[in-house]
Amino acid sequence: MQQHQQLIVRFRAIRGVLLRVMVLNLAVAGAKIAVGAATSTLSILADGFHSLLDSVSNVVGLVGITAAARPADEDHPYGHQKIETLTSLAIGGLVLFTAVEIGREAVHRIVHPGHPQVTALSIAVMAATMVVNTLVTTYEARQARRFGSDVLSADALQTRSDIFVSAGVLAALFFIHMGAPVLDPIVALAVTAAILYSAWTILQRATHVLSDKTSLPPEQVEAAALGVTGVQSVEKIRSRGPMEQLSVDLHIRVPPEITITEAHRITHEVRRAVEQSTGALDVIIHTEPGQKANT
């Protein structure tokens, strides 16, 4: 029960971060879309809709966090925490979709060049939104580390991609002003590559968790277990999950002549040692008889 209460507090804190970030993302997207429409600047307008995807990812994150906060039940005895990772997978998909759309628009501009307007307002808005996005990304990444959240980490990378896009748009506006509009789509393609890298990072992290990739070096768990008096050997060490929701299971061997009570005590000490060494939330130990002591 106490562990679930801790998870509830964590999820509420993450939800608060997402709500604050969503408000800022909506403000940034609204400013870009309004200026892009007013100046007929397609690159700013596209960047505005890309920023709008940040708000969509915030909504997805809020839905995922709410579902993940549900306690364990009969159908989900291990809890619903993996829904958070599934949500980060969805955010990765949004980032990938954004990259494809921007890349496609860049190719279209190469084939059909446009002539957007460059104004002081458009430059000011792009510069200001870059500052806001930088602050949001820094704040969200710090909170992701604090709470060990896949959703906040993925969302921070999504917002960081907005900084690259805005930088590309600013560069494009400069080239247009200097009389070289052909460089506009080339910059957009470079931005697309940066966003694709962000998508790859998010999707890779999520798939590692969902595929139960080993989270810890077995030697770390073995050292913690062998530090308990009475443990003869450690076998079949496995670990999975993100560090904030880490699960570990292992087999230990104890002297066969000791009592069940003593074996039970040793097992509890090993669990405590592994939890302290790794930060694991769930440690499952199978205790087996080992070698008899020499007499």
Instruction: Report the distance separating Cα 238 and Cα 225, nearest Å.
Output: 13
Q: Which residues contact 102 (CB under 8 A, 6 or more apart)?
A: 46, 50, 165, 188, 191, 192, 195
- Which pTM was predicted? 0.62
- Report the pLDDT value the prediction gives residue 69, as an integer from 0 to 100: 62
**Interval 121-177: pLDDT, tens:** 888 988 998 899 899 999 988 988 888 777 788 778 778 877 877 888 888 788 778
DSSP letter at 245 equals G
- Hey, what amino acid is at 279? G
Please name which of 91, 93, 109, 89 lies closest in space to residue 43, comparing C-alpha atoms.
109
**Interval 201-256: pLDDT, tens:** 778 877 877 777 788 889 999 999 999 999 999 999 999 887 667 889 999 999 99
- Hey, what amino acid is at 283? V
pLDDT band for position 178 (50/70/90)? confident
The percentage of the chain sitting over the pLDDT mark of 70, rounded to a whole number, equals 88
Instruction: Report the distance separating Cα 205 and Cα 208, nearest Å.
Output: 5
- Report the pLDDT value the prediction gives residue 253, as an integer from 0 to 100: 94
Instruction: For residue 35, count other CB atoms closer than 10 A to its CB.
Output: 22
- Report the pLDDT value the prediction gives residue 288, as an integer from 0 to 100: 92
- Report the pLDDT value the prediction gives residue 219, as an integer from 0 to 100: 93
- Report the pLDDT value the prediction gives residue 139, as an integer from 0 to 100: 92
- Hey, what amino acid is at 41? T
In the chain, how many H helices and how many E strands?
A: 8, 3
- The DSSP line for 84-140 is HHHHHHHHHHHHHHHHHHHHHHHHHHHHS-------HHHHHHHHHHHHHHHHHHHHH
Q: Cβ(248)–Cβ(283) under 8 Å?
A: yes
SS3 content of the chain, % helix, strand, coil (to 5): 70, 10, 20
**Interval 88-129: pLDDT, tens:** 788 788 778 877 887 887 788 788 776 767 788 888 988 998
The percentage of the chain sitting over the pLDDT mark of 90, rounded to a whole number, equals 22
Residue bearing the bigger pLDDT, 295 or 268: 268
Rounded average pLDDT over 14-24: 86
Provide the pairing of β-strand 282-289 with 247-254: parallel
Domains for the chain: give ranges and CATH numbers.
2-210 (1.20.1510.10), 218-289 (3.30.70.1350)
Please name which of 206, 222, 225, 214 lies closest in space to residue 247, comparing C-alpha atoms.
214
- Report the pLDDT value the prediction gives residue 78, as an integer from 0 to 100: 65
The radius of gyration of the chain's CA atoms, rounded to the nearest angstrom, is 25
Instruction: Report the distance separating Cα 169 and Cα 187, nearest Å.
Output: 8
pLDDT band for position 286 (50/70/90)? very high
- Report the pLDDT value the prediction gives residue 249, as an integer from 0 to 100: 93
